[in-house]
Structure 1
Amino acid sequence: MNTQDSLQVPPPPVAGEPVIAIPAAAVPRLQRKLSQRLHTMQATRRHLRAIRIVLNILLLLALLYTITIVKALLIPLVLAGFIGLALNPIVHAGARRRIPRWFTASVLVVGLIAGIGTGIGMLAQPAIGWFHDMPSVIKNYVPKLKTAMQPIEAASRATQTLVGQPARAQPARPAAVAINAWDILSTAPKVLAAVLTVILLVFFFLIYGDLILRRLVEASPSFGYKRHAVTIVRGIQTEVSRYLLTTMLINMTLGVLTAAMLWAYHVPDPLLWGTVAMLANFIPYVGAITTTTVLGLVGLMNFNEAGHALLPALTFAVITVIEGNLITPLIQGRRMRLSPIAILLWLLLWGWLWGIPGALLAVPMLTSTKLVTERVRGWGWFAQMVQR
């Protein structure tokens, strides 16, 4: 019903209220005033909506800029938070058996330090050796690659002759890979400080995690709100902890299988490449493709026969296909499956903001954000968008 109809057919008067008679000559003027007021209100609403969109975009850009500027602070904090959430079920299980949280957290942190120290001690020398020998390996490998590329170069010259363009000889450029020892020494203290920061944050997160939760609940205004907050936070903490711990175990198993496979194929330094496979598997799709390419290059550099050289890379590709399409969905369930488009966009965003650490942390952050938004009112649309 429009404005004219509402004025021509007024509602029946309510008993006890005075009836106001509107002259017929004043009706067109009232209609114009109402129409002008409606247009003004609609224009104001459109302007406010446009201003809100612009302010949201500016807020998002400012947030991304802040995240980029303080990445040296946020990366250890986020990494420590994820490790703390992954290890929190173990501490919580010990607390249920009357084992003090500080004792369980101390044992886990000491084990974490021992594992990191042992891994660095075992992998530092092979990694430095690979970087040191890389120039000579590439120099020895270039003739093999040139021999393999001769048919392609001959076809290219024949094509250029057919189209009437003279073939141009490409000058050979020597491959040079230089490693500055001073850069390594200057970077070592920063890396050591970051590792110690992460370890200390993990220790305090494991001890005082429940205390932070109680403080959060105490800040809620009412008892019903407190109970709702406890339910949401506990559910998020349980699901995120289960996901992170399961993902870590799956990736560690993949690294062990990769190292065992490379050892069986007599590939040098299998533990190094198993560790690379474990860390790269935190980056879906991109990590598997990168590790397969690296193993293919390693095989070509160490073996003369093409079949034997490509066998480790092909075997690893089969392992990752089985792990990504059968093992992980079976263990994690369908709720943890994410859209490949969302994963790639998220990887591009955090890789652009934080580099390699951002790419490694991107998918755990996306999955954790999805689990959080599923339980927070008004944010369910984000969980629906990123879910497969």
Structure 2
Amino acid sequence: MIDHPDHPTPQGDSSARQRLQTGALVIIAAAVILFLLVQARFMLTSLAVAIIVFSLTSDAISYISRIKLGPLRIPNWVASVAAVLLISTGLFMLSSLVLSQVNTVLSTTLTYTERAPGAVADLFAWMGPEVETAIQNAMGSIDVSGYLRTVAGQAGGLMQGTVLVILFVGFLFAERLWFDVKLTSLMGGDATRAQQARRIIGTIMGRVNYYLLVKTVVSAITGLMAYGVSLLVGLELAVAIGVLTFILNYIPNIGSIVATVLATLVAHVQLGEPGPTLAYFFALFVIQFINGNIIDPWLMGRTLRLSTFGIIVSLAFWGAVWGIAGMFLSVPIMVAVMIVASHTPGLRPLAVLLSREGLPDEDTSPLLRKSAPAE
């Protein structure tokens, strides 16, 4: 008996059913993971920040523990305790600075709330009185106090997150002596696979550390220049603008835009004149353009080689999942995903898509070459 070609065979039905079940399981698993990421975002973002802080300081602690003072050597636990204390002090100081500047901005914004609709509407006066009136009415209908309460609530959680990050960092330093043993055990005792895993982890740490160091330098320069221009113009919030510019520049692509727009609005509300506001905006634009498009790429070189479109997608996804904290962490997470995918044969196409030139696993930064393990 010959099967009709139009009729599916039992083997074909089974294969199609299996593919359908696999696709359904993948969708369900992705939905569950996304749900857990959203529900546990406070703990997960704190853990991610703690891992980054630990990565930035672990090499320095290892170096300190190898220093000899005559016949004596600094014990590893002493170096770890000193690191945790220094990290705790630095994080608390940074959190206090951010909270104080946010409170300053919020309190000052309340005094400008009544003047803000008219000042913003003046920017569109050239489009006609009807447009100006419509914008003023639209601005007046915005519940500014409600947004301020939301921002204040999110800023209030910063200190809680700082405490959780410090706890995570302390436990990571306490466990760091056993990382290699645990990694080898996880690989079933295979030393070759454990060495490859260490190399992947080292590459991720090296690239993320180098990115953060360069980003910190460029953001600090940008914040200081924005503070100087704001001080020169005579803005009351010059310090707050400098600090917020420094922080927002860690958010790729859109952070500098948000910082410039916010600072310009503050300047226009306080100054009330289009001419000085336009000059102030142009000065900030030049600062952001030079630092973001000349100094930053020059220092960064080809360290990340991430796709610009991939950065935007990662920024949008992690911003939707973890909020503002996800925007700050989007690039480090993307770097980790690209490197892991580049060393996994089945995920190699994903690494090529995330990279800029299709060469995701070439280590070119000085920090990576210095820290790469000898083979």
TM above 0.5, one fold? yes
Q: How many residues align?
A: 348
Seen in structure 2, the aligned counterparts of structure 1 residues 65 and 238 have a Cα distance that, compared at 3 Å, is same
**Residue of structure 1 in register with 2:372 after alignment:** none
d(CA) in 2 for partners of 1:235, 1:386: 16
| Structure with max Cα Rg | 1
> What does 1:224-303 align with in structure 2 at a 5 Å threshold?
224-303=192-271
**Residue of structure 2 in register with 1:197 after alignment:** 164
Tell me if the contact between 1:85 and 1:244 (Cα under 8 Å) persists in the aligned partners: no
> What does 1:1-388 align with in structure 2 at a 5 Å threshold?
32=2, 39-97=9-67, 99-122=74-97, 124-146=99-121, 149-154=124-129, 173=140, 177-178=144-145, 190-221=157-188, 222-388=190-356
Deviation at 1:184, TM superposition (A): 9.6
**Residue of structure 1 in register with 2:363 after alignment:** none
- CA RMSD, aligned part only? 3.7
Range moving further from structure 2, 178-187 or 142-151: 178-187
d(CA) in 1 for partners of 2:218, 2:235: 23
d(CA) in 1 for partners of 2:319, 2:138: 35
Tell me if the contact between 1:346 and 1:362 (Cα under 8 Å) persists in the aligned partners: yes
Seen in structure 2, the aligned counterparts of structure 1 residues 304 and 283 have a Cα distance that, compared at 3 Å, is same
Identity of aligned residues (%): 20
The AA in structure 2 aligned to 1:303 is L
d(CA) in 1 for partners of 2:244, 2:287: 15
Deviation at 1:366, TM superposition (A): 1.2
The AA in structure 2 aligned to 1:224 is T
Deviation at 1:270, TM superposition (A): 2.7
Range moving further from structure 2, 132-141 or 71-80: 132-141
Tell me if the contact between 2:120 and 2:269 (Cα under 8 Å) persists in the aligned partners: no
d(CA) in 2 for partners of 1:148, 1:180: 22
Range moving further from structure 2, 141-150 or 271-280: 141-150
Deviation at 1:297, TM superposition (A): 0.6
Q: C-alpha offsets along residues 234-292 of structure 1, whole Å, 9 cap, x if unaligned?
A: 33333333333433343334333333343344332333222211221222121111101
Deviation at 1:108, TM superposition (A): 3.8
Tell me if the contact between 2:223 and 2:243 (Cα under 8 Å) persists in the aligned partners: yes
Seen in structure 2, the aligned counterparts of structure 1 residues 343 and 231 have a Cα distance that, compared at 3 Å, is closer
TM score, norm. by length of structure 2: 0.78
Deviation at 1:380, TM superposition (A): 1.9
SS at match of 2:145: coil
TM score, norm. by length of structure 1: 0.75
Deviation at 1:187, TM superposition (A): 7.6
d(CA) in 2 for partners of 1:103, 1:318: 47
Q: Which runs of 4+ in 1 moved over 6 A?
A: 33-38, 169-172, 179-189
Deviation at 1:355, TM superposition (A): 1.6
